Amino acid sequence: MMPPPQRQGVGSAHSKLILIGEHAVVYGQPAIALPFPLLNVTSTVENGNNGIYLTSEFFTGPISNLPNQLKGIGMCIFETLDKLQAPTKELHIRLVSNIPIGRGLGSSAAIAVAIVRSLFSYFEQKLSRQTLMSLVHVAETYAHGNPSGIDMACVSSTKPIWFEKGEEVVPIHLAQPLHLLVADTGRVGDTWSAVTAVRKSYLSKNTGTKASIERLGALTIKARENLAGDQSMELGRLLNAAHEELVNIGVSDEGLDQLVKAAQQAGALGAKLTGGGRGGCILALAHNQNHAEELSQALLDVGAQQTWACTLSSE
Ligand code: PMV
């Protein structure tokens, strides 16, 4: 059955912040990730007349012409249409996103989730979580090599999550709101090369990397205990310690370290890089909302390109 004219399907997803545990999560350690609804993407699908055509800030044209770094999105679209046994491949997909790309905020996973949701909506089919994850995995594998799956789990979750590779995702309750400041170095990170470099070191005789990965796991377990109580001072210390371990495994850089230091000097309870690193963003834990705004100014003063202050709570 051909879809009637002016039919529309809409899907969206938000970005994510890895609070603690990135990189270690690839080796089976736990990680905690938070939905970050300030930044989000919406995909709208309508009838087209030009094959599958994508309109977005970063690429406009037929998806057969997608640049290399976006080919995973194209593969995900084809897999989704196959799954839907789509009766037409004349579609116009429009993306509107305010998630900066390549900053460890889950843009690629959020785009893929939004597109899959919008295609299922367009063809009026129910989308199970399992199907969503398996379709988005196609795009994430292309972008990241061998992703742990934390990004796609978090950008499609409304709750903070406890994530262990290959295990059921567990929602986490925050006993107290988290006042966070996210600051962007303005430089695109390269998760793929960071993950590859860590793996090389992990598989070599570099016991330092292995020990850091294990310590990151232990810090994450402690962070979960702190989130369940009101121990933000201790949580801040854990974030600082996690940043040190990420420095040890070689995924931080001068720009990230400078922002982390500036946040700590401005009184942040803790600060660390978030996501793949080597560019991208840091997050800092503030005392309250006003303090998060103060941290924002301090980080802009030392060269952050942009910042976002937010309070996340279980409500
Ligand atoms: O996509 P990013 O940059 O947020 O990185 C994802 C987190 C990593 O642990 C570095 C990789 C992974 O697959 O878990």
Co-location of 112 and 136 in the same domain: yes
Residue 1 inside a domain? The answer is no
Quote the pLDDT of residue 2: 56
Cα 276 to middle of ligand 1, angstroms: 5
Last residue of a domain, one of 163, 186, 206: 163
263 and 128, same structural domain? no
Mapping DSSP to helix (H, G, I), strand (E, B) and coil, where does residue 294 land? Answer: helix
Q: What atom of ligand 1 comes closest to residue 277's alpha carbon? A: 3
| 17 CA → ligand 1 middle, Å | 10
Ligand 1: residue of 27, 32, 155, 191 to mutate (most ligand atoms within 8 A of CB) is 191
pLDDT at 87: 79
* DSSP class per residue in 39-71: EEEEEEEEE-SSSEEEE-SS-EEEGGG--GGGH
Helix residue ranges, H only, the chain: 71-84, 107-122, 129-144, 150-155, 191-203, 207-228, 232-248, 254-265, 289-301
Q: Which atom of ligand 1 is nearest to the CA of 22?
A: 9
Average pLDDT over residues 34-62: 95
**How far, in Å, are 46, 146, 168, 171, 292 from residue 314 at the CA level?**
35, 31, 20, 10, 19
CB-based burial, 279-298: b 16+ in 10 Å, e otherwise: bbbbbbbbbeeebbebbbeb
Same domain, 152 and 179: no
What does 223-262 look like in DSSP terms, one character per residue? HHHHHHTT-HHHHHHHHHHHHHHHHHTT---HHHHHHHHH
Mean pLDDT confidence for 140-145: 81
Residue 23 CB less than 6 A away from ligand 1 = yes
Higher pLDDT, residue 285 or 191: 285
CATH number at residue 288: 3.30.70.890
pLDDT at position 315, please?
Answer: 73
Instruction: Return mean pLDDT, the chain.
Output: 94
Same domain membership, residue 262 and residue 243: yes
The CB of 102 under 6 Å from ligand 1? The reply is: no
The H or E element spanning position 157 is none
Domain presence at residue 38: yes
168 assigned to some structural domain: no
Mean pLDDT across 49-53? 91
Place of tokens 């938000």: 14
**Whether residue 143 has its Cβ less than 6 Å from ligand 1:** no
Find the 96 Cα to ligand 1 centroid distance in Å.
23
The arithmetic mean of pLDDT across residues 106-134, rounded, is 96
- How far, in Å, CA of 134 to CA of 112, rounded? 11
Residues 147 and 212 placed together within one structural domain of the fold: no
pLDDT at 260 over 60: yes
- The verdict on 292 and 187 lying in the same domain is yes
Does one domain contain both 157 and 226? no
25 SS3 class: helix
Is 216's C-beta closer than 6 angstroms to any atom of ligand 1?
A: no
CA atoms within 13 A on the CB side of 86: 20
The residue from 139, 163, 187 where one domain ends is 163
Whether 154 and 178 share a structural domain: no
For residues 234 and 149, membership in a common domain is answered with no
Pocket test for ligand 1, best of 22, 155, 212, 213 (most atoms within 8 A of CB): 22
Task: Provide the residue range defining the domain that includes 255.
Answer: 173-312
Tell whether ligand 1 has an atom less than 6 A from the beta carbon of residue 84.
Answer: no
Task: Report residue 209's pLDDT band, with 50, 70 and 90 as the boundaries.
Answer: very high
**Domain-terminating residue out of 163, 198, 231:** 163
3 pLDDT tier (thresholds 50, 70, 90): low
- Is residue 218's pLDDT more than 80? yes
Query: Quick one: 232 exposed, middle or buried, by C-beta within 10 A (0-12, 13-18, 19+)?
Result: buried
Which H/E stretch holds residue 31?
strand 31-47
**Please, are residues 240 and 252 in contact by the beta-carbon 8 Å criterion?**
no
Does ligand 1 come within 6 angstroms of the Cβ of 164? no
Residues 158 and 16 in one domain: yes
Structural domains of the chain, count:
2
| Ligand 1 pocket member 70 (CB < 6 A) | no
Judgement on whether residues 17 and 71 belong to the same structural domain of the protein: yes
Report the share of the chain in percent with pLDDT over 90. 87
> pLDDT digits over 235-252, tens only?
999 999 999 999 999 999
Domain containing 38 — which CATH number? 3.30.230.10
Whether 223 and 234 have beta carbons less than 8 Å apart is answered as no
